[in-house]
Structure 1
Amino acid sequence: MNESRAAAFARIPYEGPPEWREPVLNALARVVDPEIALTIVDVGLVYGVRLQDRIAAILLTTTSAACPLADSIADDVESELMQVLPAGWAVDLELTWTPEWTPERMSPAARKFMGW
């Protein structure tokens, strides 16, 4: 894992088996916000991950409450997670806008990509 990705993962609160942390976060890092062509991990949209009782609970935001692609991103999150979770697990995705997303949540690589 590269240094930038490790830093992005470190910012995501995680509760669950330690051996699942990296596979689950890597799955989330494969989900791209189609409006800005960056991963939801690099943009800082993942607010938390909890694996418990055969449920992967993901707390996620979007850059705007009016994001027209929120459903698409949610579908991609579920699809990627189902590829790495054991059979019989479910994904519980919660969208939140508290705290409000700000560009400070972006990884340094994402800010550089955006020219910020």
Structure 2
Amino acid sequence: MSAGAKLQLDDERVKEALRTVIDPELGYNIVDLGLVYAVLVNDGGVVNIVMTTTTRGCPAANYLKEGARDAAWSVPGVEFVDVTLAYEPAWSPQRMSAAAKEHLGISDRDEW
């Protein structure tokens, strides 16, 4: 890519930025923990993020929501960010990436 080429705003660029948001309890990023359910990049740089927390009533919910908003705002081309917390489907460790499971010492053979 040439120095003058403009990077296109897309959901993968936003997800990469969301990886900078670390769940304070689990010590790993919210994307690989499976807390981010959807990232939608719309016309005009409008980004909608649907995410969850490990449990309802999680004391870090506002921290994580604000962290996701701020991380998405850091991506060039983003003009507006809306973060929605959803609890359906409920989060489970099965949503984690292999790297997150390894970091936390969880095996796919573990019972949920």
Provide TM-score, normalisation by structure 1.
0.78
- RMSD of Structure 2 on Structure 1 (CA): 1.5
Which of 39, 43, 47 aligns to 1:49? It is 39
Which of 93, 97, 103 aligns to 2:83? It is 93
Q: Equivalent residues in 2 for 1:69-84 (5 A)?
A: 69-84=60-75
Tell me how far apart the structure 2 counterparts of residues 72 and 64 of structure 1 sit (CA, whole Å): 14
Which of 46, 49, 52 aligns to 1:61? It is 52
**Aligned twin of 1:11:** none
**What does the per-residue CA deviation read over 1:11-41, in whole Å, with 9 as the maximum and x for residues that have no partner?**
xxxxxxx752332111011111111100001
Q: Which has the higher strand share?
A: 1
Aligned residue pairs total 98
**Aligned twin of 1:13:** none
**Aligned twin of 1:110:** 100
Provide TM-score, normalisation by structure 2.
0.80
Larger radius of gyration: 2
The residue identity in structure 2 corresponding to 1:45 is L
Q: Which has the higher helix share?
A: 1
